[in-house]
Homo-oligomer: A and B are copies of this chain.
Amino acid sequence: MRARVLARDAEATGQTITLSADESAHVGRVLRLAIGDVVRVFDGRGHEWVATIQSGGATRVTVTLADLVVPAAESVVRYIVAPAVLKGDATDDVVRDAVMLGAAQVRPFVATRSEVRLATLVRTGRAARWTRIAVAAAKQCGRAVVPPVDDAIGFDVLARSVDTPLRVLLVEPGVAAAATSLRAIARPPAVTLAIGPEGGWTADEVTLATAHGWTAVRLGARTVRAASMALVALAACQAVWDDGDPSPDEE
Question: What is the distance, in angstroms, from A22's C-beta to the closest C-beta of chain B?
Answer: 22
Q: For A233, what are the chain B residues with a Cβ–Cβ distance below 8 Å?
A: 235
Question: What is the distance, in angstroms, from A174's C-beta to the closest C-beta of chain B?
Answer: 7
Rounded to whole angstroms, the CA-CA distance of A251 and B223 in the bound complex is 12
Quick one: CB contact mask for A187-231 with B, threshold 8 Å, 1 for yes? Answer: 000000000000000000000000000000011111111001001
Residue of B nearest to A241 (CB): B239
Question: What is the distance, in angstroms, from A232's C-beta to the closest C-beta of chain B?
Answer: 4
Please state if A238 and B224 are interface contacts (CB–CB under 8 Å): no
Q: Is A96 an interface residue (CB 8 A)?
A: yes
Secondary structure at the A interface, as helix, strand, loop or mixed, is: loop
Please state if A100 and B244 are interface contacts (CB–CB under 8 Å): no
Please state if A224 and B100 are interface contacts (CB–CB under 8 Å): yes
Q: For A179, what are the chain B residues with a Cβ–Cβ distance below 8 Å?
A: 246
**Beta-carbon contacts under 8 Å, A157-198 to B:** 173-174, 179, 181-184
Rounded to whole angstroms, the CA-CA distance of A94 and B36 in the bound complex is 42
Q: For A244, what are the chain B residues with a Cβ–Cβ distance below 8 Å?
A: 181-184, 219-220
Please state if B173 and A232 are interface contacts (CB–CB under 8 Å): no
Q: How large is the interface on A (under 10, 10 to 19, 20 to 34, 35 or more residues)?
A: 35 or more
Q: Is A236 an interface residue (CB 8 A)?
A: yes
**Known pairs A183-B244, A235-B239; A101 contacts B222 (CB<8 A):** yes
Q: Is A250 an interface residue (CB 8 A)?
A: yes
Q: Which of A143, A220, A231 has the most CB of B within 10 A?
A: A220
Please state if A173 and B222 are interface contacts (CB–CB under 8 Å): no
Q: List 9 A–B pairs whose Cβ atoms lie within 8 Å, in order of A's numbering.
A: A97-B228, A100-B223, A141-B224, A142-B173, A142-B222, A219-B239, A220-B246, A231-B232, A237-B239
A142-B173, A184-B244 known, 11 other contacts, Cβ within 8 Å: A1-B174, A97-B224, A100-B228, A102-B222, A143-B222, A174-B251, A220-B244, A221-B246, A221-B247, A232-B232, A236-B238
